[in-house]
Amino acid sequence: MPPSVNAKTRQKHPYPSAQHRQSYARRTGSERAFATLKDSSSTDVRRGSCPMMGRTKNLVMLAGAVVVRNMRITDSFEAARADDERRARHGQPIKTRRRRRDPLAQLPVHDDVAARRQRDTG
C-alpha cells in the first residue's frame, strides 16, 4: 500500500518528539475542559440536568458553566502560585510535576523494535 493512502490519517509529528507532546497537550487540555463540564458532581450540563427548555436558555446555562469552570481553574492556579511563593520564602524547593514516562530507550518495547529492525535490515 503506498504511503499516500494513509496521508490523511497519519500523525502530524513523530511520536516521542517535543512537537508531538505539545500538540497532544493541547488536545488533552480541551478534553479535560469538556470532561469537567460534563462532570455531574460539579457542573452538570447534560440533557435534563436543569428544568429549562429551549436552545437559548440551555446555551445561557452552558455559558455560565464555562465561566464557573474558568473561575475554578484560575483559583487553583493562584493557589498553586501562592504555595510556590510560600515555599520559596521558606527556602523549600518549588513543587514540580514528575515526568511519568520513561525515556524511549528504557521502554521494553523499544528493545524489541530495535532488534526487529536490526534483524530485518541485516
How would you write the pLDDT of the chain (122 residues) with one tens digit per residue?
566 666 666 677 777 778 877 877 777 878 888 888 887 777 777 666 677 778 888 888 888 888 988 898 899 999 999 999 999 999 988 887 776 666 666 666 555 555 666 666 65
pTM of the complete model: 0.55
Q: Report yes or no: 94 and 87 within 8 Å, Cβ to Cβ.
A: yes
Instruction: Give the residue ranges of DSSP H helices in 4-107.
Output: 18-38, 55-89
Look at residue 29 in the predicted model and tell me its pLDDT.
79
Residues 11-24 as b/e (b if ≥16 CB within 10 A, e otherwise) read eeeeeeeeeeeeee
Look at residue 64 in the predicted model and tell me its pLDDT.
87
